[in-house]
């Protein structure tokens, strides 16, 4: 027997009046700043939540300054300023001390920046800071550690095509910018073998200068005077020096479509489409961010809806804009069956054109904006993440109020701005296409989409 509930009975469904969604108010703390005796800029924020102190040193260098014949020099040097010992601490001794103290020091390098990171208990701050200063100032590059590091780099080169999903992105960017451009350099066995300890020492001496270094500090360090005294004691007597930066060429964009193909007998075909995009600090940033979120930013994006959900061509598909100093890029990625590679390429290109020609529904734009804003706000879960971001935005010369105004600038974008951005920036007919896969199984010849250049892994 079916029972029908009448309106007004205790179990009847009632319409709920949901609160109106409020505009996100993002007002992050500004943090504080000081300058050490030798000019090192320090960004800091006091946080006594835990008895921890974290430091990040940001050094104005990057892989893009590697000489082509010694590509990999920056990466190897940055690893070995930590793992190759210092004048005061051998590599093994350093590891033992840090392990006993529950502290850590690590390094990273990307195309346009390098970092040295430190974490310490507050009670051990002075001791760990001394090791941190030694790593920054006086690495010795122990010969046995150098040999191990170079062997590891050679192994990475030997296996770098084992994951074609990663390889296709790396190689697409490399051939887009050009193999003679710093953005397109790739480590090779010859370039790694050419690197000497003297090269590492010279690289370190050139770039690790007080005028090229910023510090972000967060944690339970007491008052500002205590922090300044300790940092000056460890780093303040570091004499200033000069740095030589190689002159880098600007990219000459490829005006006509080229299809690059690398033959590989794999279960998937891996596809990247790439074109020139706005550089860092472009006024296009906000509209393009919303446009890319709608086009390929997640499972609710157009590329995911059409390529993945409706057609079932791929599990992973996305698009994004890359911002760099010399030239930015717009990229889309897809992994699909070889038998649907042509269909996937056609469908992705069609979505780029569609977002140019048709005005989006306001609801879709609002959904994309909300996703960006939520993601942005949750990028700062700790005081340390906030203060390091403030430092990084200064490093790249963003406006001082960039963080405070980011949400409102995204909120200003409407459907007309999205379409205008897509019309001015997207050039689907001239996008470079890079494919790794078995061409004998493709549903359409790649020549359907433009002039084909066949590549080998060593190219």
This prediction has a pTM of 0.90
Domains of the chain in start order, with CATH, are: 32-161+182-236 (3.30.830.10), 258-455 (3.30.830.10)
Non-local (6+) Cβ contacts of 72 within 8 A are 66, 153, 187, 191, 192, 195
User: What is the rounded distance in angstroms from the CA atom of residue 20 to the CA atom of residue 116?
Assistant: 45
The segment with the largest mean pLDDT, out of 19-33, 192-206, 250-264, is: 192-206
pLDDT tens per residue across span 294-353? 999 988 899 999 999 999 999 999 999 998 887 899 999 999 999 999 999 999 999 999
Provide the percentage of residues in the chain whose pLDDT is more than 90: 86
Q: Are strands 328-336 and 314-322 parallel, antiparallel or unpaired?
A: antiparallel
Weakest mean pLDDT among 2-16, 42-56, 155-169, 283-297: 2-16
User: What is the rounded distance in angstroms from the CA atom of residue 88 to the CA atom of residue 131?
Assistant: 8
CA dihedral 151→153→159→160, nearest 10 degrees, is: -170
pLDDT tens per residue across span 196-236? 999 999 999 999 999 999 999 999 999 999 999 999 999 99
């Amino acid at each position: 027997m079916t029972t029908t509930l009448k309106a007004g009975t205790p179990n009847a469904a009632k319409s709920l009046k949901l609160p109106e969604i409020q505009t996100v108010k993002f007002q992050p703390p500004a943090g504080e700043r000081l300058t050490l005796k030798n000019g090192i800029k320090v960004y800091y924020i006091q946080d006594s939540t835990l008895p921890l102190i974290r430091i990040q040193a940001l050094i104005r260098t990057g892989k893009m300054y590697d000489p082509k014949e010694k590509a990999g020099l920056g990466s190897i040097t940055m690893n070995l300023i930590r793992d190759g010992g210092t004048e005061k601490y051998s590599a093994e001794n350093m590891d033992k001390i840090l392990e006993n103290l529950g502290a850590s020091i690590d390094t990273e390098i990307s195309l346009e920046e390098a970092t040295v990171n430190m974490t310490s208990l507050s009670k051990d701050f002075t001791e760990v800071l001394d090791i941190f200063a030694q790593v920054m100032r006086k690495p010795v590059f122990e010969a046995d550690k150098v040999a191990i590091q170079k062997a590891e780099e050679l192994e990475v080169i030997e296996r770098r095509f084992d994951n074609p999903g990663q390889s296709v992105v790396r190689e697409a960017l490399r051939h887009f910018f050009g193999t003679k451009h710093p953005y397109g350099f790739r480590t090779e066995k010859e370039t790694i073998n050419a690197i000497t300890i003297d090269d590492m020492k010279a690289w370190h001496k050139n770039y690790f200068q007080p005028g090229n270094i910023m510090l972000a500090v967060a944690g339970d360090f007491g008052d500002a005077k205590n922090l300044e005294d300790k940092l000056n004691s460890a780093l303040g007597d570091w004499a200033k020096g000069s740095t030589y930066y190689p002159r880098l060429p600007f990219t000459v964009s490829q005006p006509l479509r080229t299809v690059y193909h690398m033959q590989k007998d794999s279960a998937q075909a891996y596809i990247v489409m790439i074109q020139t995009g706005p550089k860092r600090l472009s006024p296009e940033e906000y509209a393009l961010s919303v446009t890319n979120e709608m086009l390929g930013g997640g499972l609710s994006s157009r590329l995911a809806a059409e390529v993945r959900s409706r057609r079932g061509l791929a599990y992973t598909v996305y698009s994004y804009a890359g911002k760099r100093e010399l030239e930015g890029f717009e990229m889309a990625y897809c992994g699909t069956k070889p038998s649907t590679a042509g269909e996937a390429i056609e469908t992705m290109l069609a979505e780029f054109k569609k977002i140019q020609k048709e005005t989006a529904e306001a609801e879709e734009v609002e959904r994309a904006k909300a996703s960006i804003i939520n993601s942005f706000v949750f990028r700062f879960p700790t005081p340390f993440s906030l203060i390091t971001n403030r430092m990084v935005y200064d490093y790249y010369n963003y406006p001082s109020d960039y963080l405070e105004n980011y949400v409102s600038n995204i909120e200003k974008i409407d459907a007309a701005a999205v379409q205008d951005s897509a019309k001015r920036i997207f050039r689907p007919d001239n996008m470079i296409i890079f494919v790794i896969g078995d061409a004998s199984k493709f549903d359409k010849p790649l020549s359907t989409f433009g002039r084909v250049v066949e590549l080998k892994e060593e190219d």
